[in-house]
Amino acid sequence: MSNLKIFIAGHRGMVGSAVWRKLAAKGYTNLIGMGSKELDLRDQSAVNSFFKAEQPDVVIDAAARVGGILANNNYPYQFLMENLQIQNNLIDAALKENVAKFIFLGSSCIYPKLAPQPLKEEYLLTSSLEPTNEWYAIAKIAGVKACEAIRKQYGKDFVSLMPTNLYGPFDNFDYETSHVMPAMIRKFHDAKNSAQDEKTAPPVTLWGSGSPMREFLHVDDMADAVVFALENQLAEHLYNVGTGTDLSIKDLATLVQKTVGHLGEMVWDSSKPDGTPRKLMDVSKLQKEGWKYQIPLEEGIKETYAWFLTNQANFKQVKIDTL
């Protein structure tokens, strides 16, 4: 098993690097990763040549252009087109070169904005998407359907894993492009550090009303789910990956604020969009297959903040190479 040649696309990103660490810890030694300067995954010819030369047994697609509400709103074309290019090139090359197993990683945003909760895999394409991230979602839906089509037409082991909101080491803490939790960590940290004394700190302004409900999964748990999918023959083409529990953004902010040690006020800017009211995943399918998360949220936030403190001098560089 450890001799399998595994190509991890996006191995320097938060998810890809976690998958690499998990595989290496389990004794997999034949791992391949290419940075965007070595291999531009948007370039079909380059991707095809790479697959012909390397002939991987397994491909894990953790490569994507990612970001939060602001980034999705500001760069809709790039979020749609670049994600389509990346995944289409990888999926098609994997089919052409007879890759034995392909694991496609997406996002819970593929499900309709107002779908019943918790989100079941069969709710895909039953209603309209959340407008603030529909560009990314449409691309990821296309990837899921491409893998399903290959599984149906060619009988190949192509499977899609849809994680809930991920967080952890190597996350993106940039103000403009980060997701909700790393953005909170940095905001509370920066406010705490700018305080004139230990008992006071400037207020922290957060987007929206704080009422939306969100589910969070530590990236190491996500990596564990990927390895589980690698080592097992899953019965279906699409699986949700999450904890099956959620909390309000306000409650998350309280947890992060406590972890960071910020003593100031929280201000909610309700002029900013909330996004989807609730995104709780039904994770029963993957649980029935035998996988369940391990890292509690409070423990995971503490670990993530500790990583941030160690790496804050260069965290802006961490996010650059996700391809």
How far apart, in whole angstroms, are the C-alpha atoms of residue 269 and residue 248? 16
How far apart, in whole angstroms, are the C-alpha atoms of residue 285 and residue 235? 10
ω before 273 within 30° of 0 (cis)? no
Instruction: Give φ, ψ of 88 to 5 degrees.
Output: -65, -40
How far apart, in whole angstroms, are the C-alpha atoms of residue 71 and residue 273? 13
C-alpha closest to that of 111 among 125, 95, 96? 125
77 classed as catalytic: no
How far apart, in whole angstroms, are the C-alpha atoms of residue 240 and residue 220? 16
12 marked as part of a ligand binding site: yes
Can you name the residues that pair with 166 across neighbouring β-strands? Answer: 217
281 marked as part of a ligand binding site: no
113 marked as part of a ligand binding site: no
Residues 6+ positions from 321 with CB-CB distance below 8 Å: 12, 13, 35, 36, 37
Q: How many residues does the chain have?
A: 323
C-alpha closest to that of 13 among 67, 59, 69? 67
276 marked as part of a ligand binding site: no
181 marked as part of a ligand binding site: no
105 marked as part of a ligand binding site: yes
Q: What 3-state class would DSSP assign to 63?
A: coil
274 marked as part of a ligand binding site: yes
How many Cβ atoms from other residues are within 10 Å of residue 196's Cβ? Answer: 8
Instruction: Give φ, ψ of 103 to 5 degrees.
Output: -115, 115
35 marked as part of a ligand binding site: no
207 marked as part of a ligand binding site: yes
Residue 224 identity: D
165 marked as part of a ligand binding site: yes
Instruction: Give φ, ψ of 185 to 5 degrees.
Output: -55, -45
> Which entry of 28, 75, 123, 136 is annotated as an active-site residue?
136
Instruction: Give φ, ψ of 115 to 5 degrees.
Output: -65, 150
11 marked as part of a ligand binding site: yes
| Residue ranges in 194-241 assigned as alpha helix (H) | 219-231
163 marked as part of a ligand binding site: yes
284 marked as part of a ligand binding site: no
22 marked as part of a ligand binding site: no
92 marked as part of a ligand binding site: no
Point out the annotated binding site for substrate.
Answer: 187, 207, 214, 274
Point out the annotated binding site.
Answer: 10-16, 105-108, 140, 163-166, 179, 187, 207, 214, 274
Point out the annotated binding site for NADP(+).
Answer: 10-16, 105-108, 140, 163-166, 179
Give the residue numbers annotated as catalytic, written as ranges: 136
